[in-house]
Amino acid sequence: MKFDKNTKILIVGLGLIGGSYAEALSEKGFSVKAIDSRKEAIDYALEKGIISRGAAEPDKNLIEEAELIVFALYPHVFIDWMEKYSHFITPGTLVTDVTGVKCSIVYRVQDMLPEGVEFIASHPMAGREVYGVENSTCSIFRGANFVVTPTERNTPEAIELCEELGKTLGFAHVSRLSPEAHDDMIGFLSQLTHCIAVALMTSCDAPGMELYTGDSFRDLTRIARINEDMWTELFMLNKEPLIRHTDLFIGELTKLRNALKDGDTEEMKRMMRLSTERRARFDKPSV
Amino acid sequence: MKFDKNTKILIVGLGLIGGSYAEALSEKGFSVKAIDSRKEAIDYALEKGIISRGAAEPDKNLIEEAELIVFALYPHVFIDWMEKYSHFITPGTLVTDVTGVKCSIVYRVQDMLPEGVEFIASHPMAGREVYGVENSTCSIFRGANFVVTPTERNTPEAIELCEELGKTLGFAHVSRLSPEAHDDMIGFLSQLTHCIAVALMTSCDAPGMELYTGDSFRDLTRIARINEDMWTELFMLNKEPLIRHTDLFIGELTKLRNALKDGDTEEMKRMMRLSTERRARFDKPSV
């Protein structure tokens, strides 16, 4: 299969991310179709011109004619959908996703697909604190990372095509990780940070505090406004790495707390120097 | 004492914050003088036109003629300076500061000053991850909070003048707190967030991780690039509130971790809903 402007693309799940895919691809001249159970989402996307056709149910024809299908659903909805409708997908079709966890999804979906259909998983590391196709914008992909997570069952062609998809969507950096390395990394970089933001918000409620806050607290808790259904599901599907990283973090914070308690300023400064040195690596490349 | 463009203002300590005060005030037409032990800082500020006169030592004349003195020094340098030179300050002068902790400073400085000199403490809640007058910019005050922390020894006139100073500098919100309420609030909103950022950076060092990070991790650890001397000093001067808030936070994070471990998704969602609801209060007013 070739990936060019004639590729028949179907997006299943037209929420914030599915909608942003549709916008990015249609802006680049691709013809995108979509399935979403919310009829308003389909109507909105048709009206905005970010899809050329759509259906509010798993339309057999749309699925059969697709050459590349992107699933942008909650993990359990994705698995349910596969159980019910994956037999509609025709051999030669390439399937990818946007799911934020990989080990618990990738191997299972690869086992479910009909002969001749390949699933190459990927994770567009972008988002907003709002939901739905109505808030979609492909600007969230700019400067962001796109990770492809192949298994040994994937072909080099599918991996390359998926990387090409990430570049076409406008991601600044496209890379490859095993599902295991992905889940470990995401447990630290994304899931633990969300847990921290939530725990920070629930741990104190002095009235009027918002009048005294600086940017550091605002930045740190931006993600404390959280979709509880989606994130609870993602956390549960990545329990082991997330608990491990949380314990490591609590250990370091306790070390800093104890150094403060004991007046061990040398240890406090050592941790701050290490932190400063490591953080320098994470500056966003100017784009 | 009146506060207008004829007020003789002296800034002691021309670093990032002192320099930004000088810039903001000279832009508004005030004539600002400064003392800083770094001759390059004084030369730079003179050249940029953000001060009209300066000295690289505690110049007796500059101190004597000042009507409003702003101390923008590290806490221990501020106290040392007061011990050595406060007798140069003439009766009728109003003294303020920019120190990030209050209880350990305010009462002590009020005790040290000559008869007739009033110290009204304040905290401009703004900063950058870079240092020195060379990085000064009064744009950091825009949209930010300015807190005045009076004690019972302060006069209403001095409190009002200090609030006026905050508004003149360009702060979006000027408010009053007792030194105790300030330190408790700052222990949670600012110091704990810095501790979290540091512990997060020291707790994991997977190579190449920066290639996969999203904005949430970057935002959360922006402040992990930290001036270890200044923050160690500020933490040590606010030990009790900071340790108390750290323990509360670790307690909440542990609660979320245990809910995850036990598969208690209802508890996870409850915490996330509370977090989302509370976070809504902290959005920055659009300016």
Which tens digit of pLDDT belongs to each residue from A126-154?
A: 888 788 999 999 999 998 899 999 999 99
Residue to mutate among A204, A265, A287, with most B CBs inside 10 A, is A204
Q: What pLDDT score was predicted for residue A210?
A: 76
Q: What pLDDT score was predicted for residue B1?
A: 73
Tally of CB atoms within 10 A around A47: 9
- What amino acid occupies position A106? V
The set of residues, in sequence order, having a beta carbon less than 8 Å from that of A11 and lying 6+ positions away, is: A18, A21, A22, A32, A33, A34, A35, A51, A69, A70, A72
Q: Is B220–A279 a contact, with Cβ atoms under 8 angstroms apart?
A: no
Report the residue from A209, A215, A239 with minimal CB separation from B185: A209
In chain B, which residues have their Cβ closer than 8 Å to the Cβ of A225?
A: 275-276, 279-280
Query: Taking a C-beta distance cutoff of 8 angstroms, is the pair A114, A86 a contact?
Result: yes
Which tens digit of pLDDT belongs to each residue from A203-219?
A: 987 777 777 777 778 88
- What amino acid occupies position A104? S
DSSP-derived 3-state class of residue A206: coil
* Nearest chain B CA: its distance from A46 CA (Å): 30
- Write down the residue that tokens 């950091």 correspond to: B140
Q: What mean pLDDT comes out for the span B3-14?
A: 95
Which tens digit of pLDDT belongs to each residue from A79-109?
A: 999 999 999 999 999 999 999 999 999 999 9
Query: Taking a C-beta distance cutoff of 8 angstroms, is the pair B25, B49 a contact?
Result: no
The set of residues, in sequence order, having a beta carbon less than 8 Å from that of A270 and lying 6+ positions away, is: none
H-helix or E-strand spanning residue B118: strand B118-119
Report the residue from A200, A210, A260 with minimal CB separation from B239: A260
Q: Is B268–A232 a contact, with Cβ atoms under 8 angstroms apart?
A: yes
Q: What pLDDT score was predicted for residue A222?
A: 86
Which tens digit of pLDDT belongs to each residue from B274-287?
A: 999 998 887 765 43
Distance CA A228, CA B268 (A): 8
Q: Work out the pLDDT band at A282, boundaries 50, 70, 90.
A: confident
Q: Is A272–B220 a contact, with Cβ atoms under 8 angstroms apart?
A: no
Among A94, A82, A148, A99, CA closest to A118: A94
Share of chain A above pLDDT 90, in %: 85
- What amino acid occupies position B112? M
The distance of Cα B170 from the centroid of its chain, to the nearest Å, equals 15
Which tens digit of pLDDT belongs to each residue from A147-205?
A: 999 999 999 999 999 999 999 999 999 999 999 999 999 999 999 999 999 999 999 87
Among A133, A98, A130, CA closest to A227: A130
The first and second tokens of residue B148, run together, are 């005045």
Does B61 have pLDDT greater than 70? yes
Distance CA A243, CA B36 (A): 49
**Tell me, what's the ipTM?**
0.90
Which tens digit of pLDDT belongs to each residue from B118-149?
A: 999 999 998 887 889 999 999 999 988 999 99
* Nearest chain A CA: its distance from B137 CA (Å): 16
* Nearest chain A CA: its distance from B61 CA (Å): 37
